[in-house]
Amino acid sequence: MSLAQELAEGIAAMELAVTSEQQAKLLDYLALLRKWNAVYNLTAIRQQEQMVSNHLLDSLAVLPYLWPQRWLDVGCGGGLPGVILAVMRPEWSFTLLDSNSKKTGFVQQAAIELGLRNVEVRCERVEQWQAPQKFDGIISRAFAEAADFVMLTRHLLAEGGRWAAMKGAPEQELARLPAGVKVERVITLQVPKLEAARSLVVLGVEK
């Protein structure tokens, strides 16, 4: 099966609305990731088919549960999920942050080549970074345990903003959340052709 078919079938299984242009951009991103991965070691996954499920579909799975408008992807690595979300939501803005300059160099190049005008890339340590404007949503895929994630990024969350943590089985981590942070939702995700447990945890600040 071609990568385009693999992607299209996964999107259909998740009942997502993705235009043919968006699907083409997602596959272009995957091609860039594979090309740069040979030199920069951006992902441990080398198989193309696995990249479709583990990277593209895994990132797309959270889309129905996110909200507008300004997003920060912390520890974005090779651009997941931030680049995928930026392709899908051109009307939202995304800042992708990582302290690894090789990874942010790749993400910057990918954003240029994909024509993503809604992406800003920052090579910073998140706990030291001061954003000119705070964020409605802060997401992470493989950045830190939930407690560290919220503590390191709390200064960047806008009033009324929420965190979105992409996790496997999150129960133990959620028991260690700091005071003042509440679990709003734990959503079990079904990612086609991905055997591992996946969930999205939405966290907010207690009033």
**Residue ranges for the binding site for S-adenosyl-L-methionine?**
75, 80, 126-127, 141
Distance of CA 195 to the CA centre of its chain: 19
CA distance 104 to 111: 10
Annotated binding residues, as ranges? 75, 80, 126-127, 141
Residue 196 region by backbone torsions, left for phi larger than 0, else alpha for psi between -120 and 50, else beta: beta
Token look-up 């609305």 returns: 17
Other C-beta atoms lying within 10 Å of the C-beta of residue 15: 7
Where would I find the H helices in 41-185? 48-51, 58-60, 82-88, 101-113, 146-153, 171-174
Compute CA distances 190 → 10, 54, 62, 73, 193, whole Å: 10, 12, 10, 22, 9
